[in-house]
Every structure is written in C-alpha cells, then in structure tokens.
C-alpha cells in the first residue's frame, strides 16, 4: 500500500504491507468554501485593512482569491507580521504587504498594557484572516487567537500564566484560549474570519464564530487504537518547524495505544522553531524548563515533549540534524520514510497494525 503524506512543500511516500495497514485518517478535499469566498469578496467594501495572521496555504489561497480591484485600490492595506513570507508565496502582492509598524501601548480591560502595532489601533474596518488548527495550550487556534499571537507582545506569557494544567488539551476550550481571546476585543471594528481546512484546501470560512462552531467544522474520526501510528502533521505551513509539529500531534494520539510507537513525519525545514526548544538543545535549560518566574517563548513545549516521550516511543523523520533530534531531543530518528517504517516494524513485529494520519492539522481523532 502506497500512501503519500505532505512533507514541506512536497509529499513523501510511505509504503506499508496490507497486513500492516490499520486505518487511514485522511480528510478529503471539497468545494464548500467556494460560495463563502465569493460572499466575502462581495463584502470587502466594508474593510480598510486585510490582516493576514499566518502563512498557511489555505489562508494565502483565500487572499489570492480576494485579489482584484477590491484589494488593489490605493486605500486598501494588507497587513502581516511577516510581509516577506506572504509576498514570496503570493508574488502578485509584492510591494503591497505592510508590517505592523511602530508599536504603542494599549490597555486591556484588566489594565494590563500590551504593545500593539499602531496600524491595528486605528478605528477602521478590519478583516482578520487565519486558518484554524488544534493546539495543546489553546485547544484551538482561530483568527481571534491568531491576531494577538502574531502582533501583540506578552500574549504568550499571558496564555502560559492562564493555564490551569500542564496537560495538552487539543480541541478543548482552555483558560488560555479565553484569556487571549479577550485581548482580541481591543481591536475595534474587526471582523474575524477563520478558515477551516480540509484536504489541504479551504473547507469553510467562519465569520466571528464561536469555539464550538470552529471545532465542529473539523472532520472527526474514531479509528480503533493500534500499536503504532504514522502521523504527518500537514506539510508546508504546519511542519515548518519541530515546534509546530509538536503542537499538532496531540490532536491525533487517540489512534495509538499508550506505550505504542509513533512515526512522526515533519520536514522541519526551518529548524526547531521556538526559543525554549533552542535553549533545550543548546543546554541552556533542562527538561524541567526555566525558573518559574521566567517565561521563554514556547516553554510549554518542553512539557509536551517530555510527556510524549514518557507515553510513546517516537521515531522522527525530518530534516533536523541528528545532533538535535537524537542526541539533544532524545528521539529515535530515520533518514527517510522507508528506514523509519522498517525500524518501526522491527521493533513491534512484522505483522503489527499501523494507523496512518496524513494531516494532523485537519483532524479531530477521538476514541474508537
């Protein structure tokens, strides 16, 4: 059985024998978003700014579809926290995408000051776009969470301090989600559109949606648990770094038994991806994390990595150097998918059943 799994901007081939294949968790493409994109395009006159909160392929596909006379007017601004990334993936917008600009202080309801780009404090119609995905700290990332995370300083610390448990909680409305969503209320006259992905394409466009509305739009699977699982996190936009992959894997672990083996497929072309993981592999902090009074960006990922290794055996196939993945992160590694599958089956037995998740970023996997 040949199964193609997204890997960076391409795909990688996983080959399993019929005796090994359990269930394939794969979200099919559809065209439900077509009409919703056209409706959004028709309402663009309401907005002065289009704020692009991430660089997911689905978000940028919607931005491309919105292009035309509406986005090319001289008064229309497109704002991103990473303008070069947006322009490199949407060349038609070269020279049109702005950064956030000068930062100013803005108080939330509790009197906490955040530093916010001045352009986002202006009282103008604002369309905020991002693609939804599961997350172990927030439960879900939607456009109301993505805006503060992308543009506002100290929001990571707020989210970390708001947690009530160290346990990963994908698809659960967590205290961290509620705390950061309150920050988004500071951005007046903003319309938050969250793109739900399926099959690597936009599936739904949800306008000012609730947590439950976004969650219920994800495709749900309940396969029987197997002794092993091969999990691809989703390709470009999702497996750019180990940090992103580590946060996405938690929504799919119900398909593998505790104590089982996971083959994690993620390119990690941009490396580790968070300050905390960088500090871990360079020996500046240990698996216990930094001092309790110190916040480091992504520090919760240290706990996620520890829990993952305690509960499962993990084989990683990625572009990370062996020095990082093996010696520093403590993961088994393989130079490619064929070697990784062979290592998995040699450990568990040649007749072991293996579930396969092609895009963890799009799936809600429950108990089978």
CB atoms within 10 A of CB 158: 19
Count of other CB atoms within 10 angstroms of residue 40:
21
pTM of the complete model: 0.93
- In angstroms, the CA 69 to CA 58 distance is 21
> Angle at the Cα of 106 (from 105 to 107), degrees rounded to 5?
125
First to last CA, the chain: 23
Q: What is the pLDDT along the chain (368 residues), one digit of tens a residue?
A: 899 999 999 999 999 999 999 999 998 887 778 889 999 988 888 999 999 999 999 999 999 888 765 566 556 789 999 999 999 998 988 888 998 788 888 777 667 788 999 889 888 999 999 999 999 999 999 999 999 999 999 899 999 999 999 999 999 999 999 999 999 998 989 999 999 999 999 999 999 999 999 999 999 999 999 999 999 999 999 999 999 999 999 999 999 999 999 999 999 999 999 999 999 999 998 877 777 777 899 999 999 999 999 999 999 999 999 989 999 999 999 988 999 999 999 999 999 999 999 999 999 998 75
Give residue-wise pLDDT tens across range 245-266. Answer: 999 999 999 999 999 999 999 9
DSSP letter (8 states) at residue 326:
I
Q: What is the C-alpha separation between 128 and 126, in angstroms, rounded? A: 6
Q: Taking a C-beta distance cutoff of 8 angstroms, is the pair 63, 139 a contact?
A: no
Rounded to 10 degrees, the C-alpha dihedral 139/142/148/151 comes to 120
Report yes or no: 202 and 62 within 8 Å, Cβ to Cβ: yes
Q: Hey, what are 351's tokens?
A: 């007749």
6's enclosing H/E stretch is strand 2-7
Q: Residue 4 — φ and ψ, nearest 5°?
A: -95, 130
Domains and CATH numbers, the chain: 2-27+219-365 (3.90.226.30), 33-198 (3.40.50.11440)
Helix/strand/coil for 279: helix
Q: Which of 259, 255, 260 lies closest to 357, judged by CA?
A: 255
- Which of 308, 309, 285, 289 has the alpha carbon at shortest distance from 299? 289
> Angle of helix 175-184 relative to helix 143-151, nearest 10 degrees?
70
Structure tokens at 232: 């691809």
Q: Which residues contact residue 284 at a Cβ distance below 8 angstroms, ignoring those fewer than 6 apart?
A: none
Answer for the pair 203, 32: CB distance below 8 angstroms, yes or no. Answer: yes
CA dihedral 145, 150, 151, 157 (to 10 degrees): 70
């Amino acid at each position: 059985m040949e199964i193609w799994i997204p890997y960076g901007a391409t795909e990688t081939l996983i080959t399993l024998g019929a005796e090994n294949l359990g269930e394939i968790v794969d979200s099919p493409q559809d065209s439900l978003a077509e009409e919703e994109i056209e409706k959004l395009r028709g309402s663009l006159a309401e907005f002065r700014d289009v704020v692009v909160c991430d660089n997911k392929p689905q978000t940028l596909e919607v931005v491309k579809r919105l292009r035309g006379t509406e986005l090319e007017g001289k008064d229309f601004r497109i704002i991103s926290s990473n303008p070069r990334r947006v322009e490199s993936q949407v060349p038609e917008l070269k020279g049109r995408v702005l950064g956030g600009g000068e930062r100013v202080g803005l108080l939330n309801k509790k009197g906490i000051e955040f530093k916010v780009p001045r352009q986002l404090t202006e009282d103008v119609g604002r369309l905020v776009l991002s693609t939804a995905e599961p997350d172990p700290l927030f439960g879900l990332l939607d456009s109301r969470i993505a805006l503060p995370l992308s543009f506002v300083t100290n929001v990571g610390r707020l989210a970390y301090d708001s947690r009530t448990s160290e346990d990963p909680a994908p698809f659960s409305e967590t205290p961290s989600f509620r705390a950061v969503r309150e920050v988004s209320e500071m951005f007046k006259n903003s319309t938050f559109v969250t793109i739900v992905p399926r099959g690597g394409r936009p599936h739904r466009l949800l306008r000012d949606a609730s947590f439950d509305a976004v969650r219920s739009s994800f495709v749900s699977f309940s396969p029987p648990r197997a002794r092993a699982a091969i999990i691809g996190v989703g390709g470009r936009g999702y497996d750019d770094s180990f940090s992103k992959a580590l946060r996405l894997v938690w929504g799919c672990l119900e398909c593998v038994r505790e104590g089982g083996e996971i083959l994690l497929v993620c390119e990690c072309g941009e490396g580790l991806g968070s300050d905390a993981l960088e500090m871990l592999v360079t020996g500046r902090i240990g698996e216990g994390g930094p001092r309790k009074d110190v916040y480091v960006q992504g520090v919760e990922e240290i706990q996620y990595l520890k829990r993952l290794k305690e509960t499962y055996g993990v084989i990683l196939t990625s572009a990370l150097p062996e020095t990082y993945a093996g010696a520093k992160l403590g993961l088994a590694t393989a130079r490619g998918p064929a070697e990784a599958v062979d290592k998995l089956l040699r450990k568990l037995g040649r007749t072991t059943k293996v579930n396969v998740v092609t895009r963890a970023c799009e799936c809600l996997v429950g108990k089978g």
